[in-house]
A and B are shown apart, each in its own frame.
Chain A
């Protein structure tokens, strides 16, 4: 398998495999699902044995089989793994037919799609872990409001992918159950995404439509006025109204009237609405609604922090719990979690990367099916392959390894600048080169005209026929699209400001392989 050879060569995998932290192992252990208990006793005992030690989720047999195939670095890794599974026993080597069903079989399309589905963004996890505190705050707030029958407002903020909207879904369900149990009147729930409004003030119409009022005689009064009227008069037994406005910042207009009016609805004497706004900005309320403070209706703020690596691991494992077999090696999950947490703490990204890692595995499987004999050149296995080729393949890959994860991560996080520069057409490389030369001094930006002169100089000195100015400026635009240059706006082409967007060192590094440019840049 040539691909493995390459992946095994990446330095991260080896490093991470050695530096595997222990706490992870503990959490890996409890992910053994209950389903297994239903199976036959003898097997269950064995499997429990294995599950108790999470490091063993990587089947030892697999390591044995693979080690002859893998390059030296890879073997080191396996060796490094060894101390962590001290109680590996020969008894574990069971016939495949018996062990296989407790393992994830990536060749089974059903199991594969089950794993993918569990990791998809749209799949609602059975419980929202790691957000218990925030959830409780919100629920308590709403409960309080419903009990007292008074209005209130809440603002939830946090980075994208930190489970805000998901928590709100759960809160809705919890409140519903709670009111049923407590025998209170069900609140009306209006959950809307502010991006789906065609105009900002449409939100009032939506709220009003929930009330299903008897026909108002006067059509001229706006929905807002009607709502204000409704909330300022005493009324009998109107239900509480829970408004969940996702992406609240889309309601920000120039005069901020809509947002303001929305929050003001909660201040009316007989207001019955509980407003929960969700958005990214932490200081939205402070920045845009300074007046609310003075009116004493400043919303309570709940902040959703970005996930920590431990939380990401927990959530991923929670999601994977639905599957009766381990899909990921614990190291792989750990690596993913740490990388994502370091970058943004965005759960969606973590899920995407895990999905990407599964795709990597799938691609590798396909490749190995396409040329099966490349992967089993060993004599002892060769014989096996002839007789039962299915088994050997099964043994090879039973989980997403750290290598797959590294590959998936690198696709997401690696900076493609150097590669991009290296495959650029020559003249565009010359432009970058001349820009680097131009910016050697203290100057950090210039105009397109100046850069063209510098480009002409380089061309002249290397006796390459230069292109015309029009061509040059269109090349600059292409470089701008690629994120290498930053071209400003100007009416005149020549006067556009131009600046480098990438580090000069990157360009120098990328172009140093070509002698032509090395001379140029010296």
Chain B
């Protein structure tokens, strides 16, 4: 959603100091009793180290100056920070934009003169918690416009956040519900939806209570203001002057410290010990990378009924925690986003960190210590990796959707509302939508990557559509969309059982035995959907601990650029690393054939689902050979499920491959009409939009031809559309609300559209001359009994027809052009027009079709005579 653009701003937010910067307007008199009275008192363990410098200044009107002072004392522009590629940190500063902050702080001080009184009160009540309410009502907007005028003088980017910082009484008004916020200032830190934060792993770690934001030099163990340089290997920081020989400025490119260099050469290195009595302070980054801290992405923030603050976070994990373990290609600061969500109390959030995608990460040269790289999403259930680029696109889609909401919120809140407000409202709505989505299907919400089915299914419906009460027909249309994922899969119970038994049989044993399953069936019989449904069911069992965890890799043969690319895709999904297919083949061979495991948990079984298996056929079939050979190896733990349309694919393969494929087959037969009927009815359960006979008619028709469920759904949806159209038209002329059901006639029309060949339409709508031309061809056919005629003969017939019915003969050239046009439409087959009168012509469709199409044409009633 909107978090992508937001993330760019996040580094600019100050951690703890900003909350104090915002002037508290006098117009907001009521504030809650804060849950955390004084942060220092409430969480002495955690914050004491950071709060001590603040406490002396914590009084009177100078409170706003505190952060500016602390910023000033530690801050200082990094010399020459613009031109380097190496990682440089401002000594003692974890965040880059202090200067800016100080500027703002000074402004804030100015503002504060006016709002001082209230400010102080807030201070007395504690380092308060402030937030913006979920759905800002009219009154609040006004209030904001009157009081927030000065805050708008601050940099534009801050406007919204500054105004958010105010307290609102909304929360008190509705205490019985959760109140969602966009931003919360909690315990001195300002947290916003979309931020990345550190989360404490345990509550009782007293040893980790200090939280040094200031990194110490590895040599002198002092944190000064002078420039430090970071080693690319150990990530340790060094003062430029402490190095031997001292560096004048930060070098270009990679830089490794002397210790790492020595270690690389195989020498034993003793790191300099810290002076007596001084403990080596570990930064949050070190703690995170040694898994003493967690990192998470805030998805939503809310206040519980009991006044506690909670947020929903999406975890990040470090490479060591994945199934594949840390791999050589992982960068030091690389972490993975997971699809694991959790609700946590704000209490356990430490402070912000910055997780960036590779592009941003490359730019983030000197933005401090808390910058991380995240390129892949890690699926904690199926232990596979997925690149994030895809999601970002998805998120942009989400933003586009919101343009509708923008429009509506403007309507609601008068045209005077400023843009920020809109933006905010949108975000909040987004949040609600998202959180509800997430609640609905738990961690499943991201599974939509598979085939995009679920993705489309859970697409956000614009608000104005929601407000409008949907009729049954509209709901029926939505349910009949192919993309809508049905809640249950009727009529495939036997197959579901069989697949479940197959997977369980392969996985449940202590030693996973590789197996193969080949699933075949005509299109539209629910093959892929069934397998995915089974795997979804299995996951709940995995979660319950009844089944060992396994990886699941899903590949569609159609999406591969070439069959060999499948190695690449498999390898990337298993390890989160992209290599060329040749290398991937080698590595996969090592893993599956030789049983070499380099990862930690790599021994978990792996299920490989290959859709459209027949597309992997190469000339010498080596790709299929390799994939089907792995399960027969002792340590592969690979289970291959192949899906294709052809029934006799194994027989078409080389005998050595079909021998390795095993004998497990599963056939998905075409649906019969009862089954199709049940499928449609289950989709439409609770929606009263169709006549029963209409559904039966549609399913019977489809079952007689192909038994393809997709088609049956399409026909019904189309019938619903036709009915909807008809009703709306009727409504315009005579607004009488009647029960609108899709009946036989609509279904009939839809079936006609789908099954009737388009050529009849084309013939019906062809030009007058074209019709005469075709009639002449049919006439000629009847006369001679030969399928083929020449243009010369045909022209004679046409002139006869024209003459006897009072039409003007158009002339040969025109007629020839008409003939060529019909030839291009493939209504007739003809030789190139250059042959002129010797051109051979033939009808491409049975003459009955032409007769049927032209029999009752309005403009030329005499045609029927000749047909």
Q: Which residues of A contact B (CB under 8 A)?
A: 109, 113, 116-117, 120-124, 159-161, 193, 195-196, 198, 247, 250, 280, 344, 346, 348-349, 352-353, 356, 359, 362-363, 411-412, 416, 420, 423-428, 453, 456, 467-471, 474-475, 478, 481-483
B646's contact among A161, A344, A425, A483, by CB below 8 Å, is which? Answer: A483
* A residues in contact with B631, CB < 8 Å: 122
> Is B632 touching A471 in the complex (CB atoms < 8 A)?
no
Q: Closest B residue to A202 by CB, please name it.
A: B582
Supposing A198-B585, A416-B667, A469-B845 touch, asked if A159 and B655 sit within 8 A by C-beta, the answer is: yes
* Complex CA distance for A469 and B672, rounded to whole angstroms: 23
Supposing A117-B513, A161-B659 touch, asked if A483 and B647 sit within 8 A by C-beta, the answer is: yes
A198's contact among B511, B582, B620, B704, by CB below 8 Å, is which? Answer: B582
> Is A359 touching B501 in the complex (CB atoms < 8 A)?
yes
* Complex CA distance for A344 and B632, rounded to whole angstroms: 19
Tell me if A's interface is mostly helix, strand, loop or mixed. helix
11 contacting pairs across A/B (C-beta < 8 A):
A113-B509, A161-B659, A195-B625, A196-B589, A352-B663, A359-B501, A427-B704, A456-B846, A468-B756, A471-B705, A482-B646
Q: Closest A residue to B848 by CB, please name it.
A: A456
A423's contact among B509, B625, B672, B704, by CB below 8 Å, is which? Answer: B672
Minimum distance in angstroms from B814 CB to a CB of chain A: 29
**Contacts A247-B625, A423-B669, A483-B651 supplied; 8 other A-B pairs, CB < 8 Å:** A120-B514, A121-B514, A122-B632, A160-B656, A196-B586, A356-B664, A426-B703, A469-B845
> Cβ of B823 < 8 Å from any Cβ of A?
no
Supposing A423-B669, A424-B670, A471-B755 touch, asked if A195 and B622 sit within 8 A by C-beta, the answer is: yes
* A residues in contact with B648, CB < 8 Å: 483
A481's contact among B620, B629, B647, B669, by CB below 8 Å, is which? Answer: B647
* Complex CA distance for A423 and B654, rounded to whole angstroms: 29
Residues 614-650 of chain B: 1 if any A CB is under 8 Å from the residue's CB, otherwise 0? 0000001010011001011111100000000111100
Tell me if B's interface is mostly helix, strand, loop or mixed. loop
Supposing A116-B509, A122-B513, A195-B622 touch, asked if A353 and B663 sit within 8 A by C-beta, the answer is: yes
Residues 566-604 of chain B: 1 if any A CB is under 8 Å from the residue's CB, otherwise 0? 000000000000000110011001000100000000000
* A residues in contact with B636, CB < 8 Å: 122
B513's contact among A109, A116, A468, by CB below 8 Å, is which? Answer: A116
> Is B755 touching A196 in the complex (CB atoms < 8 A)?
no
B626's contact among A196, A363, A481, by CB below 8 Å, is which? Answer: A196
> Cβ of B75 < 8 Å from any Cβ of A?
no
Q: Which of B582, B659, B664 has the most CB of A within 10 A?
A: B659
Minimum distance in angstroms from A259 CB to a CB of chain B: 13
> Is B659 touching A160 in the complex (CB atoms < 8 A)?
yes
> Is B757 touching A280 in the complex (CB atoms < 8 A)?
no
Supposing A195-B629, A425-B705, A469-B845 touch, asked if A346 and B659 sit within 8 A by C-beta, the answer is: yes
* A residues in contact with B759, CB < 8 Å: 468
Supposing A122-B636, A475-B706 touch, asked if A196 and B585 sit within 8 A by C-beta, the answer is: yes
Size of interface on B: residues with Cβ below 8 Å to A: 58
* B residues in contact with A159, CB < 8 Å: 655
> Is A348 touching B659 in the complex (CB atoms < 8 A)?
yes
> Is A124 touching B845 in the complex (CB atoms < 8 A)?
no
Minimum distance in angstroms from A494 CB to a CB of chain B: 8
**Sorted from nearest, which 9 A-B pairs have the closest CB atoms?**
A468-B757, A160-B659, A113-B509, A198-B582, A483-B648, A122-B634, A160-B656, A426-B704, A195-B622
* B residues in contact with A481, CB < 8 Å: 522, 645-647
Minimum distance in angstroms from B398 CB to a CB of chain A: 37
Minimum distance in angstroms from B679 CB to a CB of chain A: 15
Minimum distance in angstroms from A495 CB to a CB of chain B: 11
* Complex CA distance for A349 and B581, rounded to whole angstroms: 31
Q: Closest A residue to B564 by CB, please name it.
A: A198
* B residues in contact with A420, CB < 8 Å: 647, 667, 669
* B residues in contact with A474, CB < 8 Å: 706
| Residues from 810 to 867 in B contacting A, C-beta threshold 8 Å | 845-846
* A residues in contact with B646, CB < 8 Å: 481-483
* Complex CA distance for A250 and B667, rounded to whole angstroms: 32
* B residues in contact with A482, CB < 8 Å: 522, 646-647
> Cβ of B77 < 8 Å from any Cβ of A?
no
Supposing A160-B655, A160-B659 touch, asked if A425 and B647 sit within 8 A by C-beta, the answer is: no
B663's contact among A363, A412, A483, by CB below 8 Å, is which? Answer: A412
> Is B622 touching A478 in the complex (CB atoms < 8 A)?
no
* Complex CA distance for A273 and B448, rounded to whole angstroms: 54
Supposing A120-B513, A160-B659, A468-B756 touch, asked if A425 and B670 sit within 8 A by C-beta, the answer is: yes
| Residues from 503 to 523 in B contacting A, C-beta threshold 8 Å | 505, 508-511, 513-514, 522-523
A113's contact among B501, B510, B634, B660, by CB below 8 Å, is which? Answer: B510
> Cβ of B662 < 8 Å from any Cβ of A?
yes
* Complex CA distance for A354 and B664, rounded to whole angstroms: 12
* Complex CA distance for A95 and B108, rounded to whole angstroms: 90
Supposing A349-B663, A353-B663, A481-B645 touch, asked if A250 and B620 sit within 8 A by C-beta, the answer is: yes
> Is B501 touching A363 in the complex (CB atoms < 8 A)?
yes
* B residues in contact with A478, CB < 8 Å: 522-523, 645, 706
Q: Closest A residue to B514 by CB, please name it.
A: A122
* Complex CA distance for A424 and B511, rounded to whole angstroms: 41
Minimum distance in angstroms from A448 CB to a CB of chain B: 13
> Cβ of B707 < 8 Å from any Cβ of A?
yes
* Complex CA distance for A440 and B645, rounded to whole angstroms: 30
B757's contact among A427, A471, A483, by CB below 8 Å, is which? Answer: A471
* Complex CA distance for A280 and B656, rounded to whole angstroms: 8
* Complex CA distance for A177 and B89, rounded to whole angstroms: 62
| Residues from 489 to 539 in B contacting A, C-beta threshold 8 Å | 501, 505, 508-511, 513-514, 522-523
* Complex CA distance for A346 and B622, rounded to whole angstroms: 20
Q: Which of A117, A247, A425 has the most CB of B within 10 A?
A: A425
* A residues in contact with B662, CB < 8 Å: 348, 352
Minimum distance in angstroms from B245 CB to a CB of chain A: 35
> Is B505 touching A359 in the complex (CB atoms < 8 A)?
yes
* B residues in contact with A113, CB < 8 Å: 508-511
Q: Closest A residue to B633 by CB, please name it.
A: A122
Minimum distance in angstroms from B647 CB to a CB of chain A: 5
* Complex CA distance for A456 and B852, rounded to whole angstroms: 15
* B residues in contact with A120, CB < 8 Å: 513-514
* B residues in contact with A483, CB < 8 Å: 646-648, 651
* Complex CA distance for A196 and B631, rounded to whole angstroms: 15
Supposing A359-B505, A467-B705, A481-B645 touch, asked if A423 and B755 sit within 8 A by C-beta, the answer is: no
* Complex CA distance for A467 and B705, rounded to whole angstroms: 8
Minimum distance in angstroms from B589 CB to a CB of chain A: 5
Residues 672-710 of chain B: 1 if any A CB is under 8 Å from the residue's CB, otherwise 0? 100000000000000000000000000000011111000
* A residues in contact with B704, CB < 8 Å: 425-427
Minimum distance in angstroms from A338 CB to a CB of chain B: 17
Q: Closest A residue to B651 by CB, please name it.
A: A483
Q: Closest B residue to A464 by CB, please name it.
A: B704
* Complex CA distance for A120 and B646, rounded to whole angstroms: 27
* Complex CA distance for A160 and B629, rounded to whole angstroms: 12
* A residues in contact with B655, CB < 8 Å: 159-160, 280, 344
Q: Closest A residue to B665 by CB, please name it.
A: A411
> Is A425 touching B585 in the complex (CB atoms < 8 A)?
no
Minimum distance in angstroms from A199 CB to a CB of chain B: 8
> Is A411 touching B670 in the complex (CB atoms < 8 A)?
no
* Complex CA distance for A456 and B846, rounded to whole angstroms: 10
* A residues in contact with B625, CB < 8 Å: 195, 247
Q: Which of A195, A453, A471, A474 has the most CB of B within 10 A?
A: A195
> Is B755 touching A468 in the complex (CB atoms < 8 A)?
yes
* A residues in contact with B659, CB < 8 Å: 160-161, 344, 346, 348-349
> Is A250 touching B705 in the complex (CB atoms < 8 A)?
no
Minimum distance in angstroms from A455 CB to a CB of chain B: 11
Minimum distance in angstroms from A277 CB to a CB of chain B: 14
* Complex CA distance for A113 and B510, rounded to whole angstroms: 8
* A residues in contact with B629, CB < 8 Å: 193, 195
* Complex CA distance for A121 and B515, rounded to whole angstroms: 9
Supposing A425-B703, A478-B706, A481-B647 touch, asked if A356 and B634 sit within 8 A by C-beta, the answer is: no
